[in-house]
Chain A
């Protein structure tokens, strides 16, 4: 990996973020009814609306508003929530932290489970375990999060079993057992789709590698099968796995919106739904930007990891 590659990728990410700020700003400009109308409600007189618009700076041309908004953001000022009356940075900051707890739990769990599943399916190609993993993968990709979540709730949180609480959030640093109980169902819901993707990707990559000449050479020179897989096949099939994991962060960021809403997890997704329902513009803008930023950074990190894992990756 060269420094110029790194700089170019970083530049591309920055460009994407600038375009995202434009898109988010444009979307909120198109929204019918601006912030002044929303604060005053439908019954505000035109004079009141005009006065408040002046006060909020909404009568300025769009580019002045855009640059004022971006400048505020760069200084950590995301504005004030129209409904909650709190600084957006506080609302979104707390939610981001809670979402991160859920997302990281799901992602770590998925990585631990999906990669061995994919390897198992590739090594035992054509057997019952391969078929089982394949069917699981297809079912997993076809279940929308709200269906998985609802089915899990019926099965595991109902009065009949009552194994898990139906929703809510406990931080791991407050009570470890409470955290596990609350995080289990939302994390499994989010993880199902990702497990399906990742195990399928690992399987197909691993199958390609296992039928290559250097694996045959390794076997012919009498290496133990375990060693062939661990030292020869595995490292060469990891780069695509990293790529699909980073793509799946996109799913994860969409999935948390629904999953947090269903399990009453006080994260970015629940905040966004609340803001959308109440047309709380500054919060909608901030959550969208944060989610897009996390996604862009994930892609950057995964590009770097892939370049480190696989020297054949072209640097242009």
Chain B
């Protein structure tokens, strides 16, 4: 394995992730103003020395709102992906290891779920659970589960017949040992790559749910919600929609580029 930072996509992606990471971890402390504080004299302004990214309809500082919204936006993506990857990997490994009819039944059900587009699936689940950040995260995780299960299964299948696995079987190792120590470590590559790329989708879906009013709720400064609230004023101050929009795109692009670089350095092909 070569370092993913050696390629241009890896470098750019890594840099973007660094910026996004700093914003997500330290954003609230870096913000120059209180994100909810009104400054009535300077409403709907473009960038200035006092307000680097301009102000919204109440004169709130857009940079401060952006920095305060970073944790909820980014950790939403990471959290939803981790949940989905965990659930999907467990199902996929069970299908791949068990084989025969268990595999067939699980895979047919998964095919059925994969026939529903991700966003539609997420919207349906959010409707069942009701809106809000936690429910939205759960919904994205559930929507990711079938796709991740499929990838985990194909990773397991490609490992299962390798000599070192057959050797462990021949040695009489327990199936828990074989799955945990022989199969899983070698099947993790494709799963990690797919998970990294999916964080970018999760961030985008999360922001879309916020935008539709089904995710984060006011007065949150989640970035999708910021775009939604700014839409009324978009012709008077375009900065209000463009700034959070670009922030979402940069965060998504960081995970996407880095995932691609990771794939090249781990040398796995996307398998679906």
- Interface of A toward B, CB cutoff 8 Å: 12, 15-20, 22-23, 27, 30-32, 138-139, 141-147, 150-151, 153-154, 158-160, 250-251, 253-255, 257-258, 261, 272-273, 276, 279, 284, 288, 291-292, 295-296, 299
Are A145 and B123 interface neighbours, CB within 8 A? no
Are B252 and A144 interface neighbours, CB within 8 A? yes
Are A15 and B234 interface neighbours, CB within 8 A? no
Is B204 an interface position by the 8 A CB rule?
Answer: yes
> Residue of B at shortest CB range from A135?
B12
Is B154 an interface position by the 8 A CB rule?
Answer: no
Most A-side CB within 10 Å, residue of B111, B113, B116, B200: B116
Are B249 and A250 interface neighbours, CB within 8 A? no
> Residue of B at shortest CB range from A141?
B256
> Residue of A at shortest CB range from B200?
A142
Contacts of B125 in A (CB 8 A): 27
Contacts of A295 in B (CB 8 A): 115-117
- B171–chain A nearest beta-carbon distance, Å: 34
Are B128 and A30 interface neighbours, CB within 8 A? yes
7 chain-A/chain-B pairs, Cβ below 8 angstroms:
A20-B116, A143-B252, A154-B241, A160-B235, A250-B118, A258-B119, A288-B124
Complex Cα distance A31/B228, Å?
27
Is B211 an interface position by the 8 A CB rule?
Answer: yes
Which of B120, B212, B245 sits near A261, CB closer than 8 Å?
B212
Are B256 and A27 interface neighbours, CB within 8 A? no
Are A15 and B108 interface neighbours, CB within 8 A? yes
Are B124 and A147 interface neighbours, CB within 8 A? no
Report B71-130 residues with CB < 8 Å from chain A CB.
Answer: 108-109, 111-113, 115-120, 123-125, 127-128
Interface size on B, as a range, is: 35 or more
Complex Cα distance A292/B146, Å?
15
Given A16-B115, A139-B253 in contact, is the A279-B127 Cβ separation under 8 Å?
Answer: yes
Is B231 an interface position by the 8 A CB rule?
Answer: yes
Are A254 and B248 interface neighbours, CB within 8 A? no
Contacts of B205 in A (CB 8 A): 144
Contacts of B256 in A (CB 8 A): 138, 141-142
> Residue of B at shortest CB range from A150?
B241
Contacts of A147 in B (CB 8 A): 207, 227, 245, 248-249
Is B238 an interface position by the 8 A CB rule?
Answer: yes
Is B19 an interface position by the 8 A CB rule?
Answer: no
- B19–chain A nearest beta-carbon distance, Å: 14
Report B240-264 residues with CB < 8 Å from chain A CB.
Answer: 241-242, 245, 248-250, 252-253, 256-257
- Interface of B toward A, CB cutoff 8 Å: 9, 108-109, 111-113, 115-120, 123-125, 127-128, 200, 204-205, 207-208, 211-212, 224, 227-228, 231, 234-235, 238, 241-242, 245, 248-250, 252-253, 256-257
Contacts of B212 in A (CB 8 A): 258, 261, 273
Are A146 and B120 interface neighbours, CB within 8 A? no
Contacts of B249 in A (CB 8 A): 139, 142-144, 147
Are A31 and B127 interface neighbours, CB within 8 A? yes
Complex Cα distance A32/B128, Å?
7
Are B211 and A146 interface neighbours, CB within 8 A? yes
Contacts of A142 in B (CB 8 A): 200, 204, 249-250, 252-253, 256
Are B115 and A150 interface neighbours, CB within 8 A? no
Are B115 and A138 interface neighbours, CB within 8 A? no
Complex Cα distance A153/B232, Å?
12
Are A254 and B235 interface neighbours, CB within 8 A? no
Sample of 15 further A-B pairs with CB below 8 A, known A142-B256, A143-B248, A144-B211 = A15-B111, A16-B112, A19-B113, A31-B127, A32-B128, A139-B249, A142-B200, A144-B205, A144-B224, A146-B227, A151-B241, A153-B234, A253-B117, A257-B120, A296-B115
- A195–chain B nearest beta-carbon distance, Å: 16
Are A284 and B117 interface neighbours, CB within 8 A? no
Contacts of A19 in B (CB 8 A): 108-109, 111-113, 115
Which of B9, B117, B224, B235 sits near A154, CB closer than 8 Å?
B235
Are A144 and B248 interface neighbours, CB within 8 A? yes
Are B116 and A151 interface neighbours, CB within 8 A? no
The 4 closest A-B pairs by CB, nearest first: A19-B112, A254-B119, A142-B253, A254-B117
Complex Cα distance A32/B250, Å?
38
- B49–chain A nearest beta-carbon distance, Å: 24
Complex Cα distance A288/B119, Å?
11
Contacts of B9 in A (CB 8 A): 138
- B221–chain A nearest beta-carbon distance, Å: 16
Contacts of A20 in B (CB 8 A): 112, 115-116
Complex Cα distance A292/B114, Å?
9
> Residue of B at shortest CB range from A138?
B253
> Residue of B at shortest CB range from A193?
B204
Are B234 and A150 interface neighbours, CB within 8 A? yes
Are B252 and A276 interface neighbours, CB within 8 A? no
Complex Cα distance A141/B13, Å?
14
Contacts of A17 in B (CB 8 A): 115
> Residue of A at shortest CB range from B230?
A150
- B166–chain A nearest beta-carbon distance, Å: 24
- A75–chain B nearest beta-carbon distance, Å: 23
